[in-house]
């Protein structure tokens, strides 16, 4: 007689009773989340496959194991989900304790957007390296908050609709995105005006709402100018959590880790758009606390950052890159001790590029991490070549002064090693697919877009930006491409002028010689 085996695809009892396909998400499947039903899973005894067993081997009457009786109980009039029932969350994390939903997903359009968020968009704004347990926990909790809180619902839907527009070009989604965005901003402002910081439940709905407001700004076509104010707002919310006692940051909790990383990453993106002529300043207290939290409590082993849900690289790389910016902007570039310290740290990471370090070997996005190191190294070289006492300088001016080429021993121009290596990374066919399907490459592509001087290299950077833009619908890639197009136009005109000048000088010399 065949030995009984555990069934691998079982679904929850609630879906089986309702004759729906269960997506197997634990602790609460999507069907139960949307319908606000209690998600009941089979007991271990019910997981055995009894098809090849004698009836007497079951040993326990059906009524004793619960079976369909449990599902009947679920279908009673009291089956609406109590907040936290299926999420195993501490009740103090919730907004309200009422079982009645404060918001509703009633229209087919709303339901479609929320399904798109759970099925597609969330998997794009979180890296594929996210631990499955962290991913499921964050998704379930976000869905619950969307069902409980108007600001969360509208913020999630605004960013999802914006991404749908970027991928499809349908104006319908653009209008939906703007409508939900305006409503989300209104709800967040109302929440801030009436917030009770003494309650332990104040933080989560505000954090997730503000996060999706700046995600809408980065991923959508309309609200880029609003990104800075939303990210600054996120920094202030975390400062309150770092200094207060009612809602402390818990790094063991997936929601907190993802929110912390998201706040850091988007602060970094804004600051590094103009790293040496800052128009966006990261709060120093927020930055110090966040980097310390991630570097010394979450990713003690830098290789563990390969499983990061958002930043995708060791926090120490972000720290180093931001320190390069701070060193220049604070006027401490002439401080020999400070420069030596940063140069030594950069040497460490540059040496890792040629090693078998697990940070590159174990991660799908090792190439993206390599680009971050190369971009930071190039920026450090550029500012170290500036005259003493140099003031704020744009990336355009810096790249024009620094150039992407150096003169080799044979007297011929050569790409700086960082640029040459970055271009080779962009040409790798085996791993190119992975990081064009994630958002991590946006900042290094900006830096190397400023660095390249020849048409072939410009076309390569443009191709990668376009591929990523069309694969994941990331509007930031489109913004970067527009910025670089202006820089490349200036650079090509400059190159033409350089080529014309020697020819003109040579022709003038020939005329002078002929006259003599």
pLDDT winner (highest mean) among 45-49, 245-249, 374-378, 408-412 = 374-378
Residues composing the chain? 516
pLDDT band at 412 (very low <50, low <70, confident <90, very high): low
Interval 300-308 mean pLDDT: 82
Residues in Cβ contact with 162 at an 8 Å cutoff, skipping those fewer than 6 apart: 173, 174, 177, 181, 216, 219, 220, 221, 222, 223, 475
**For the chain, percent of residues with pLDDT exceeding 70:** 75
Q: Which residue has the higher pLDDT, 73 or 22?
A: 22
Look at 15-29, 97-111, 465-479 and tell me which has the smallest mean pLDDT. 97-111
> What DSSP assignment string belongs to 155-203?
HHHHHHHHHHHHHH--HHHHHHHHHHHHHHHHHHHHHHHT--TTSTTSH
Give the integer Cα–Cα distance in Å for 511 and 42.
95
Q: How far apart are CA 76 and CA 16, in angstroms?
A: 15
| Whole-prediction pTM | 0.78
Lowest-confidence segment of 254-258, 409-413, 452-456 by average pLDDT: 409-413
pLDDT recorded at residue 40: 77
Q: What is the pLDDT of residue 99?
A: 36
Pick from 466, 475, 482: which is nearest to 432 by CA? Answer: 466
**pLDDT of 408 over the 60 cut:** no
Q: What percent of the chain has pLDDT over 90?
A: 50
* pLDDT number for residue 428: 83
Read off the pLDDT of each residue in 170-196 and give the average, rounded to a whole number: 93
Tokens of 435: 């990081």
Q: Are 50 and 58 in contact (CB under 8 A)?
A: yes
Q: What is the pLDDT of residue 251?
A: 87
Q: Is 37 helix (H, G, I), strand (E, B) or coil?
A: strand
Instruction: List alpha helices for 220-296, DSSP H.
Output: 227-243, 254-271, 284-293
Q: Residue 65's pLDDT is what?
A: 38
For 358-404, write each residue's pLDDT tens digit.
Answer: 666 666 667 888 999 999 999 999 999 888 777 889 898 888 887 77
Average pLDDT, integer, range 11-37: 75
DSSP labels, 234-249: HHHHHHHHHH-SSS--
pLDDT at position 57 is 43
Burial of 200 (0-12, 13-18, 19+ CB in 10 A): middle
pLDDT for the residue 28: 74
Give 345-368 as a 3 state SS string: HHHHHHHHCCCCCHHHHCCCCHHH
- Higher-pLDDT residue of 29 and 9 is 29
- At residue 13, the pLDDT reads 82
Burial of 432 (0-12, 13-18, 19+ CB in 10 A): middle
How much is the average pLDDT of 230-255? 91
Q: Which residue has the higher pLDDT, 360 or 137?
A: 137
Domain boundaries, the chain: 13-81, 107-282, 312-516
SS3 472: helix
The 10 Å Cβ neighbour count of residue 494 is 12
CA distances from 504 to 329, 500, 515 (A): 41, 6, 17
Question: Per-residue confidence at 447, pLDDT binned at 50, 70, 90?
Answer: very high
Q: Which of 396, 96, 189, 115 is nearest to 276 (CA)?
A: 396
Looking at residue 307, its pLDDT comes to 83
The confidence score (pLDDT) of residue 101 equals 42
| pLDDT over 80 at 217, yes or no | yes
């Amino acid at each position: 007689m065949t030995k009984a085996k555990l069934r691998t695809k079982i679904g929850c009892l609630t879906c089986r009773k309702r004759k729906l396909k269960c997506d197997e998400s634990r602790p609460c499947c999507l069907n139960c989340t949307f319908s606000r039903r209690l998600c009941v899973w089979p007991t271990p005894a019910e997981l055995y496959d009894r098809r090849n067993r004698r009836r007497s081997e079951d040993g326990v009457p059906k009524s004793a194991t619960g079976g369909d009786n449990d599902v009947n109980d679920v279908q009673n009039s009291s089956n609406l989900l109590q907040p936290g029932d299926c999420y195993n969350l501490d009740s103090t994390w919730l907004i309200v304790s009422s079982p009645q939903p404060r918001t509703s997903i009633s229209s087919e359009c709303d339901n479609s957007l929320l399904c798109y968020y759970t099925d597609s968009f969330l998997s794009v704004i979180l890296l594929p390296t996210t631990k499955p347990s962290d991913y499921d926990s964050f998704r379930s909790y976000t869905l619950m908050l969307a069902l409980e809180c108007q600001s969360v619902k509208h913020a999630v839907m605004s960013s999802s609709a914006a991404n749908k527009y970027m991928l499809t070009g349908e104006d319908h989604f653009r209008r939906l995105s703007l409508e939900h965005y305006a409503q989300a901003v209104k709800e967040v402002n109302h929440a801030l005006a009436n917030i009770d910081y003494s309650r332990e439940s104040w933080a989560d709905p505000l954090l997730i709402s503000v996060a999706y407001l700046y995600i809408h700004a980065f991923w959508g076509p309309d609200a880029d100018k609003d990104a800075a104010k939303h990210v600054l707002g996120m920094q202030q919310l975390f400062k309150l959590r770092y200094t207060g006692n009612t809602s402390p940051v818990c790094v063991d909790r997936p929601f907190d880790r993802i929110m912390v990383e998201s706040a850091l990453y988007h602060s970094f993106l804004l600051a590094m758009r103009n790293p040496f002529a800052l128009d966006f300043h990261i709060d120093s207290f927020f930055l110090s606390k966040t980097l310390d939290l991630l570097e010394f409590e979450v990713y003690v082993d830098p290789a563990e950052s390969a499983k990061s849900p958002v930043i995708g690289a060791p926090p120490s790389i972000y720290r180093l890159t931001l320190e390069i910016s701070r060193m220049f902007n604070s006027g401490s570039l002439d401080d020999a001790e400070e420069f030596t310290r940063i140069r030594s740290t950069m040497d460490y990471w540059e040496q890792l590029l040629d090693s078998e370090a697990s940070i590159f070997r174990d991660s799908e996005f090792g190439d993206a991490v390599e680009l971050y190191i190369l971009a930071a190294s190039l920026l450090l070289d550029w500012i170290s070549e500036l005259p003493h006492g140099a003031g704020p300088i744009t990336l355009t001016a810096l790249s024009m002064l620094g150039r992407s080429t150096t003169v080799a021993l044979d007297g011929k121009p050569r790409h700086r090693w960082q640029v040459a290596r970055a271009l080779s990374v962009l040409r790798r066919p085996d791993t190119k697919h992975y990081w064009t399907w994630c958002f991590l490459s946006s900042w290094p592509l900006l830096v190397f877009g400023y660095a390249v001087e020849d048409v072939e290299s410009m076309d390569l950077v443009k191709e990668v930006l376009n591929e990523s833009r069309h694969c994941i619908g990331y509007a930031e890639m489109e913004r970067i491409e527009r910025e670089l197009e202006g820089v490349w136009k200036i650079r090509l005109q400059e190159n033409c002028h350089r080529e014309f000048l020697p020819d003109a000088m040579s022709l003038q010399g020939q005329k002078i010689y002929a006259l003599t």
